[in-house]
A and B are shown apart, each in its own frame.
Chain A
Amino acid sequence: MSVAATHRRELSVGAAYGALLVALALFAPAFYQRANLRDVLVGAAPVLVAAVGMTLVILARQIDISIGSQFAICAVVAGTLAKAGLAMPIAAAGALATGAALGALNGVLVAGFGLPAIVVTLATMVGLRETLRWVTEGVWVRDLPPGFQWMGLGQDAGRFAIPGLALLVWALVAWGMRHLAGGRAVYATGSNAEVARLTGVRPRRVVFGVFVAMGALTGLAALLSAIQFIDVQTNSGVGFELRVIAAVVVGGTSIAGGRGSLVGSLLGVLLLATAGPALTFLGSQAYWDRALQGLIILVAVAADAFGSATRLKARP
């Protein structure tokens, strides 16, 4: 089977993204100012980092809708550590570690106790969000040291480093998923966990691993988002999980597991990150944004279903 056949989804989402860019070039060339492209990339960086983690989770035939709450907690942790006078690298490490720990909580419940991921992460989403609200009572983390914003690198360097770091993380994981045994084990687990077990893969360990990776990457996403500001709001990340899942699914990763790629997810992130501001540039009223975003998801998914007779995968 030729490359086109196996990567048909990535090509279709790439084509859709190309069409959007052409439309912008024709009707709203102002979109292509250097400043706007940079802002779109800086804005998309946290979503990309989380989308990398979500791709792994969905490839392993799981789902995580609690990353919105994890995002808020990790940002607050980063701010609190920085405010306590710790050096920024330690605060950053704290955010990632918190994410990894929260991911591990999901991992233990799903991989350890074999509970369904959708319900476990629904519970952790609600539980973590309300606990954070109860503890912080809505008070933002303020009076952060000057070194917090842009990790002390200054605005210009910071606005280059954030998308750069996100793309680097994406490239590393994309390479790993293709060339490391661990990456192939994720594909195998999502394709058929029982068969994977027989070929020596440890599905439960893989599932635990993808949830921890998801948590750590959510921590990084929260950090990359928080350091763009001088204080940390405590109710951030609401709806973050739906935006990330939408990007990964539009990018062609199948919810049934085993099929999909990080290239597709990158294109999905770029498509949805561009669609938001593009609607404004193309003059659509704010109150139609959400409807059009929903439409993009449905059209992308329906196109895929029309394209190929989706293979009905038997449940494990």
Chain B
Amino acid sequence: MTLLRLQEVSKAFGGVRALRGVSFDLRPGEIHALVGENGAGKSTLVRILTGAVKADSGTIEIEGRRVERADPVVMRGLGVAPIYQQPALLPDLTVAENIAMGLERGGPWRRVDWRSRRERARQLLARVGAAVDVDALAHGLRMAEQQLVEIARALGADARILLMDEPTAALTDREATRLFELIRDLRAHRVGVVYISHRLEEVAALADRVSVLRDGELVATRDMAQVDRRELIRLMVGREIQAIFPKRAVPIGDVVLAAEGLACRSSGIRGVSFQVRAGEILGFAGLVGAGRTELARVLFGLTPADEGVIRLRGAAVRVAAPAEAVRLGVAYLPEDRRRHGVIGEMSIAANTTLAALRAITRAGFLDFAAEREIATTYLQRFAIKAPSIDAAVATLSGGNQQKVALARWLATRPSVLVLDEPTQGVDVGAKAEIHGLIVDLAAQGLAILLVSSELPEILGMSDRVVVMRAGTVAGVLDRAVATQERIMTLALGHAESVPA
């Protein structure tokens, strides 16, 4: 008897067909992994299953019964509990209330029992192993803590169907391991888990079956035992991947950017020193919360440094605001592409030139011809798939949006390019293209700082790797000696054995 069955489910968002006739089933007591490139339709599928979005056609059956009106309340009633990639918490409410809001049902006149709410929250958080104050407001929590609160809420719903969309993206390995134990425990209690992740090693360790989504179609469902990593990638991408990382030896110039004893009390950065040369790709590895993004924000002037010196080609500079950083030739491709990387409502042309307005302004007036020329060159050079440079960036796929964001910073002719998770949430195909672009830029003499949580990407792309821990530099490894184990050892800061 299947716990959950989808039959020929389709969904389109204004012309873009996110799901095409997907059929999928989940058995009780099974972990069914769902993999696929970003934009393949995974998140759309989850949002249909949680009732956040209505399918255009197709049927959903839970325990054999067809679900007519699938909205969040109905699906929750049927035992479906979601854990979203972006933690869905109410920032102004306490942790206890956030958990309770997901679990309680009933009309607006129902009395709220604060004591039992806080007690239940405490128990669930303990079960998930999160040291979080139940009275704390959600907006004060770190990303990892928010993720754990969401997981606690899902457990609390004693759900029979658990939908997990990239649950470990923000977790430390220790927290991830704890989560895996919980999931296996739930499987033992006949709960069905749909597990979505980019990290194929997790999928291999956890899942009983795996289904592959490509361009909105479910192309294959296999028992985990019968399929290996390479075939999975082939199924996901639909073509053979040659060299994973197009790394090329590139002539290294002299020091472009040097940091000496950088500190920023508000963001926890202390005593950071490093150098990066022209043509060099300096990787920044470290666990979540090690301060890599915070360091990038210091370099870019979003949170100026309290102490220490930044030298550009030897001359000490004060980067007090992003506008100054841009003038000094420092560019920053931010981690949160949707909110910071691009402005969705504006056109590709406007986004491309936003950071380099000076270049297309004559006596204060915009030179539209120059703007179109810049936008068109990057449209072609980066092979950005879009109807025209006047299309709103929001209508593009994740990968193309990231290319527009990259084009924006190249338009400013930077000498230093800080990339923060440049390929996160981008499909495998676009990922390879972006890696290619990065290497080309290094070849042109740019100094590149590459912040990434994917160790393969760090190892594959960096000339040297700076490993950060708790806001400072734990160590610097040359490309030749850098291995996953060494990086993790420095990142964890003690000789704890690296998890299998």
Contacts and interface: CB of A to CB of B under 8 A. Distances in A.
Interface of A: 1, 6, 178-182, 184-185, 187-188, 190-192, 195-201, 209, 257-259, 311, 313-314
Could you say which of A181, A185, A257 has the most chain B C-beta atoms within 10 Å of its C-beta? A181
B73 interface: yes
A5 to B, nearest CB: 9
Contacts of A1: 133, 135-137, 140
A190 B107 contact: no
Contacts of B104: 181
A54 B91 CA distance: 22
A181 B92 contact: no
B216 interface: no
A55 to B, nearest CB: 14
A187 B93 contact: yes
Contact of A190 (B89, B92, B101): B92
B135 A199 contact: no
B18 to A, nearest CB: 18
Contacts of A184: 93, 97, 101, 112
Given A1-B140, A198-B52, A199-B102, A191 B112 contact: no
A182 B109 contact: yes
B112 A179 contact: yes
Q: Name the prevailing secondary structure of the B interface residues.
A: loop
The 8 closest A-B pairs by CB, nearest first: A182-B108, A258-B92, A191-B92, A191-B90, A199-B101, A181-B110, A195-B88, A200-B73
Given A199-B102, A200-B101, A180 B137 contact: no
Contacts of A209: 108
Nearest to A256: B92
A181 B108 contact: yes
Contact of A258 (B91, B112, B339): B91
Interface residues of B, number: 33
A194 to B, nearest CB: 8
Contacts, number: 80
28 contacts: A1-B133, A1-B135, A1-B136, A178-B112, A179-B111, A179-B112, A181-B104, A181-B107, A184-B101, A185-B108, A187-B92, A190-B92, A195-B88, A195-B90, A196-B101, A198-B52, A198-B82, A199-B72, A199-B88, A199-B90, A199-B102, A200-B76, A200-B101, A200-B105, A258-B91, A258-B93, A311-B91, A313-B91
B74 to A, nearest CB: 10
Interface of B: 50, 52, 72-73, 76, 82, 84, 88-93, 97, 101-102, 104-112, 114, 133, 135-137, 139-140, 339
A92 to B, nearest CB: 24
Given A1-B135, A1-B140, A191-B92, A197 B110 contact: no
A201 B109 CA distance: 13
B109 A180 contact: yes
Contact of B111 (A180, A185, A190, A257): A180
B438 to A, nearest CB: 29
Contacts of B135: 1
A181 B109 contact: yes
B334 to A, nearest CB: 14
B110 A191 contact: no
A181 B93 contact: no
B339 to A, nearest CB: 6
A188 B101 contact: yes
A257 B107 CA distance: 22
Contacts of B97: 184
Contacts of A191: 90-93
Contacts of A201: 101
A191 B91 CA distance: 6
A6 to B, nearest CB: 7
A1 B132 CA distance: 11
Given A1-B136, A180-B111, A197-B52, A258 B90 contact: yes
Contact of B108 (A180, A197, A259, A314): A180
Contacts of B92: 187, 190-191, 257-259
B395 to A, nearest CB: 19
A200 B82 CA distance: 12
Given A192-B91, A198-B52, 8 more contacts: A6-B137, A181-B108, A187-B90, A192-B90, A196-B90, A197-B52, A198-B88, A200-B73
Could you say which of A179, A192, A314 has the most chain B C-beta atoms within 10 Å of its C-beta? A192
Contacts of A190: 92
Nearest to B86: A195
A66 B405 CA distance: 43
Contact of A311 (B90, B109, B139): B139
A11 to B, nearest CB: 17
A188 B52 contact: no
Contacts of B140: 1
A198 B72 contact: yes
Nearest to A206: B108
A314 B339 contact: yes
B112 A180 contact: yes
Could you say which of A184, A201, A313 has the most chain B C-beta atoms within 10 Å of its C-beta? A184
A262 to B, nearest CB: 15
